[in-house]
């Protein structure tokens, strides 16, 4: 990919609020679109989605930081893996269905993480609190700050490098057979999420494997009545189909 040419910014100019408004669209156009577009991602607002079927796909969300200054674009990059069976459950909690609301979001994902902008020094929560109490500024290694043309180029390059391993980890799991096989083998889901065992129970129920789904439910530490009833009802419906 050729080096992007940005004519929108005067050389060496200090960012103004009007210039800062261009940081986001230029980042998307010059760096993000050429990388994720060919994979099938479609952008709406700050969110890119690749949808394999209703409820199944990968979400890349550029979450604007509430601490953004007028002369900068500050954001987090959230990536989530969604699968139909779990998305349907999450929508049910919200009083809707996949048929009525086929979109996917990071909040409905079975696995999500943030792409970090650079390997800053890692601190434990206690170390961070100690430094903040001492008046030191603690760098958030997950917060991206674009406040200059140079920072814009750097952010684009780092995003390219950070997104590739995320995609390589998550894309095979879009195949429900692959995901189920990994969960059967005891492999944990990558990054954060609702927990592999809970997702495993839902996938088993969707296959009509009621006895195995019950075994997984019994092994879970905390199972609310609504979730247990949903899994058992789903398994029964698939068995009788």
Residue pLDDT, tens place only, 73-98:
989 999 999 999 999 999 988 889 88
For residue 142, the model assigns a pLDDT of 85
Question: Alpha-carbon distance 17 to 14, whole Å?
Answer: 10
For residue 25, the model assigns a pLDDT of 94
- Name the pLDDT band for 21 (thresholds 50, 70, 90): confident
Contact yes or no for 106/71 (Cβ under 8 A): no
The pair phi, psi for residue 16, each rounded to 5°, is -115, 170
First to last CA, the chain: 51
- The answer on pLDDT for 128 being more than 90 is no
Give residue 195's region: left, alpha or beta (phi > 0; psi -120 to 50). Answer: left
Count the residues in the chain. 241
Q: What is the mean pLDDT of residues 5-9?
A: 45
- The answer on pLDDT for 121 being more than 60 is no
Q: At 175, is the secondary structure helix, strand, or coil?
A: coil
- The answer on pLDDT for 132 being more than 90 is no
Contact yes or no for 198/220 (Cβ under 8 A): yes
For residue 220, the model assigns a pLDDT of 85
- The answer on pLDDT for 9 being more than 90 is no
Burial annotation 160-192 (CB, 10 A radius, 16+ → b, else e): eebbeebbebbeebbebeebbebbeeeeebbbe
For residue 62, the model assigns a pLDDT of 97
**Residue bearing tokens 């495993």:** 200
- The answer on pLDDT for 190 being more than 50 is yes
**Residue 192 has what DSSP assignment?**
B
In the chain, where the domains are located: 17-174, 195-240
Of the candidate ranges 86-90, 138-142, 170-174, the one whose mean pLDDT is the lowest? 138-142
């Amino acid at each position: 990919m050729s080096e992007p040419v940005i004519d929108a910014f005067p050389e060496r100019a200090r960012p103004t609020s009007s210039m800062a408004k261009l940081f986001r669209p230029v980042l998307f156009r010059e760096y993000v679109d050429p990388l994720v577009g060919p994979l099938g991602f479609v952008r709406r607002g700050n969110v890119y989605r690749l949808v394999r079927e209703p409820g199944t796909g990968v979400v890349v969300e550029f979450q604007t930081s509430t601490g953004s200054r007028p002369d900068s674009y500050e954001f987090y990059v959230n990536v989530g893996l969604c699968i139909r069976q779990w998305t349907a459950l999450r929508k049910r909690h919200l009083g809707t269905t996949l048929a009525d609301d086929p979109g996917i979001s990071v909040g409905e994902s079975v696995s999500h993480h943030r792409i970090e902008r650079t390997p800053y020094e890692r601190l434990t929560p206690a170390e961070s609190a100690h430094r903040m109490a001492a008046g030191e500024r603690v760098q958030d290694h997950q917060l991206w700050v674009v406040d200059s043309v140079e920072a814009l180029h750097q952010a684009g390059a780092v995003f390219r490098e950070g997104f590739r391993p995320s995609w390589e980890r998550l894309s095979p799991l879009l195949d429900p057979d692959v995901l189920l096989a990994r969960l059967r083998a005891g492999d944990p889901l990558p990054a954060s999420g609702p927990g592999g065992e809970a997702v495993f129970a839902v996938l088993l129920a969707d296959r009509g494997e009621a006895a195995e789904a019950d075994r997984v439910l019994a092994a879970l530490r905390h199972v609310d009545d609504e979730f247990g009833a949903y899994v058992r009802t789903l398994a029964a419906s698939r068995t009788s189909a």
